[in-house]
A and B are shown apart, each in its own frame.
Chain A
Amino acid sequence: MLGFLTRRLAGAFLVLLLVSVLSFGIIWLVPGDPAAVFLDAGATPDQVERLRRELGLDKPLAMQVVEWYSRILKGDLGRSILLSRGVTEAIIERLPVTLSLAGISLVLSVVAGVAAGMVAATKHGQPVDQAVMAGALFGLSIPEFWLGLVLIVVFAVQLGVLPTGGFVPPTESITGWIRSITLPAIALAVVHMGFIARMTRAALLEVLSQDFIRTADSKGLTRLHILLRHGLPNALIPILTVTGIVAGSLLGGTVIIEQVFSIPGVGRLIIGAILSRDFPVIQGGLLFVALVYLTINLLVDICYAIVDPRVRLE
């Protein structure tokens, strides 16, 4: 187990190193700089040039590279140009928002998706199965941001039952938080629900068709006992895989959904940074997202090892 962890960690570290190169490099390709955001259309180039100097954007590339690596090795992502705070601080501020959105969507999609997938698998080939699968595929084909817009029009504008956007922290008001997170979480969850339902069904069907299920059957054990003790533990591995994929994909989804619902999360931080050329935030944000992504993968790997004794040996 320890060797397994070390190997995974070493691999993740290597990837992270490459990610840091990519996130540093990408900003050197972007045209424009944050000076523009401070100034309106009437600003003249020498005003821009002054501001660039003021913001430290005129340092040579080599110097910036050295600064970047000496900083991130200390765990310091630098200071935002536009937000007047450290990048780490800015990310941590928004993290609970994104995590609560992604977390609730994940729970929603896993619970509904696994349940739907299990129903479909046990009713394999029957109308219930076909209906669930058709629904899942349909859900999978909806652009999530569009669904968000439609939900806003229907539930916030027409019916007026839920807010159109914004975010209320749970520390401020629990009901306000639930109300503000409901529509975005649904918009995010629908697509992933379909995905998980399909995967769960496929995984369970595969497990249920395996020899050891027949063995269990030959023991005369009850169907429920077989499903719970033999079927589910084995289907857990593929379900975990999907959950990992979905967790990552949700992270991507929040980027857009936060934009639709004006939710101040990490995704909007990064998009805002890209659109305003807040370079430290772009770099730090991308690095952070990659770190989260890799952590999710690592967690999934560790869960495998717990669920599936075979993995530990590899």
Chain B
Amino acid sequence: MTAEAVLDLSHPPSKPFRETLARLLGHRSFVIGGFLVLIVLIIALTADLIAPFDPLRNAARVRLRAPDSVYWFGTDHFGRDILSRVIHGARISLIIGGATVLMTGLFGTLIGAVAGFFRPLDNPIMRLMDALMAFPAILLALTVAAVLGASVVNVIIALSIATAPHTARIVRASVLVIRELEFVEAARALGASEARILLRHVLVNALGPLIVRLTYVFAIAILAEAALSFIGVGPPPPAPSFGNIIANGRDFMVVAPWITIFPGLAIIVTVLGLNLLGDALRDVLDPRMKV
């Protein structure tokens, strides 16, 4: 044996929360991304206060107004203010994104953890996940949404089904690595029940990759909501979401491009913020994970 092994003090395996936070706050992507997402979040939360008009109010007099000093983003063919609709749209888009993250997180973790921890179930579960992943996510979401019908809840379900398999795979991979580690063995030796081990140790340690993945899922969900709306299986009108405002402007793309352009920019800002956050989280929580 060597002097190195003796002198080299081993670091504790998990970094304290404080240190992680400090590293995140020092990460430029985290600051910019966080700022963008926070802005969108605040807009969504205060939509009722800051939107200049009722996003649902029809006003035939002002149909298809180009952006001006009153209607900053112009109006649609109902005469509804696009700015107000984008502001309120942030709310539904974030709800869809957030709920998809929750559902995907919950089911992806559950499926991945079960597959990773209970070996007999691993193969059947993961083959099913492979089968789901054998479709492009958007096609899968579209099919599911078409089956279920267009509603906010169904869009969330469709997106969760499309994103959960990949998440399950990530969780399973983490679980497989961690369950072989010493401290899990130790806990098992001490007589902790399987379920407790699973929850207390494995999941806590698989959290890093999961958080990173879910941040990207949020971004994916926002993009996919828009795509589903475009095909006509998104959240139903008249309540605005980023996607259905664009879908609504489709027939007027040439004469009133503002209906299409502004919610698109809102999507870009939101998704860019989420991607930046995801990159920062990846750098800090899961440095080995690829883009």
| Chain A contact residues, CB within 8 Å of chain B | 11, 14-16, 18-19, 22, 26, 29-31, 137-138, 140-146, 149-150, 152-153, 157, 195, 198-199, 202-203, 238, 248-249, 251-253, 255-256, 259-260, 267, 270-271, 274-275, 282, 286, 289-290, 293-294
What's the nearest-Cβ distance from chain A to residue B170, in Å? 14
- B136 to chain A: which residues have CB within 8 Å? 248-249, 251-253, 255, 289, 293
Which residue of chain B has the shortest Cβ distance to A255 in the bound complex?
B139
Query: Does B121 belong to the interface (CB within 8 Å)?
Result: no
Complex Cα gap A26–B219 (Å): 27
Bits for B226-246, please: 1 = Cβ < 8 Å to A, else 0.
110011100000000000001
Q: For the complex, is B192 an interface residue (Cβ under 8 Å from A)?
A: no
Q: Which residues of B contact A29 (CB under 8 A)?
A: 147
7 pairs of A and B residues whose beta carbons are closest in the complex: A252-B136, A18-B131, A290-B134, A141-B271, A146-B264, A141-B272, A198-B291
Contact B131–A252 (Cβ < 8 Å): no
Cβ–Cβ < 8 Å partners of B137 in chain A: 252
Q: Can you give 29 contacting A-B residue pairs, CB < 8 Å?
A: A15-B131, A16-B134, A18-B128, A22-B131, A137-B275, A141-B272, A142-B268, A143-B227, A143-B267, A143-B268, A145-B227, A146-B226, A146-B267, A149-B250, A149-B260, A150-B260, A150-B264, A153-B253, A202-B290, A252-B137, A256-B227, A259-B230, A274-B142, A275-B146, A286-B135, A286-B139, A289-B134, A289-B135, A293-B136
The interface of chain B, by Cβ under 8 A from chain A, is 127-128, 130-132, 134-139, 142-144, 146-147, 149, 219, 223, 226-227, 230-232, 246, 250, 253-254, 257, 260-261, 264, 267-268, 271-272, 275-276, 279, 290-291
| Residue pair B275, A271 in contact (C-beta under 8 Å) | no
Interface-central residue, A15, A152, A157, by most chain B CB under 10 Å: A15
Q: Name the residue of chain B whose CB is nearest to the CB of A153.
A: B257
Q: Name the residue of chain A whose CB is nearest to the CB of B273.
A: A141
Q: Given the known A-B contacts A142-B268, A150-B264, are A22 and B132 also in contact in the complex, defined by CB atoms under 8 Å?
A: yes
Interface secondary structure of B, over-half rule: helix
Contact B254 A146 (CB under 8 A): no
The A interface is mostly helix, strand or loop, or mixed, namely helix
User: In whole angstroms, how far apart are the Cα atoms of A260 and B147 in the complex?
Assistant: 22
A251 surroundings in chain B (CB, below 8 A)? 136
Q: Are B275 and A141 in contact (CB under 8 A)?
A: yes
Chain A residues with CB under 8 Å of B223's CB are 143
Bound: A153/B246 CA distance, A = 14
* A31 contact set on B, CB distance < 8 A: 147, 149
Q: How far is the CB of B111 from chain A (nearest CB, A)?
A: 15
Other contacts beyond A29-B147, A271-B142: 15, CB < 8 A: A11-B130, A18-B131, A137-B272, A142-B271, A143-B226, A143-B227, A146-B264, A150-B260, A153-B254, A157-B254, A203-B290, A252-B139, A255-B142, A270-B139, A289-B134
Rounded to whole angstroms, the CA-CA distance of A238 and B127 in the bound complex is 24
Q: How far is the CA of A30 from the CA of B146 in the complex (A)?
A: 7
Which residues from chain B contact A252 at a C-beta distance below 8 Å? Answer: 136-139
Assess whether A293 is in contact with B135, with CB atoms less than 8 Å apart. yes
Chain A nearest CB: distance from B199 CB in Å? 29
What CA separation (Å) do A267 and B142 show in the bound complex? 11
| A293 CB contacts on chain B under 8 angstroms | 134-136
Q: Are B230 and A256 in contact (CB under 8 A)?
A: yes
Instruction: Evaluate contact between B264 and A286: CB separation under 8 angstroms.
Output: no
Q: List chain A residues, Cβ under 8 A from B272.
A: 137-138, 141
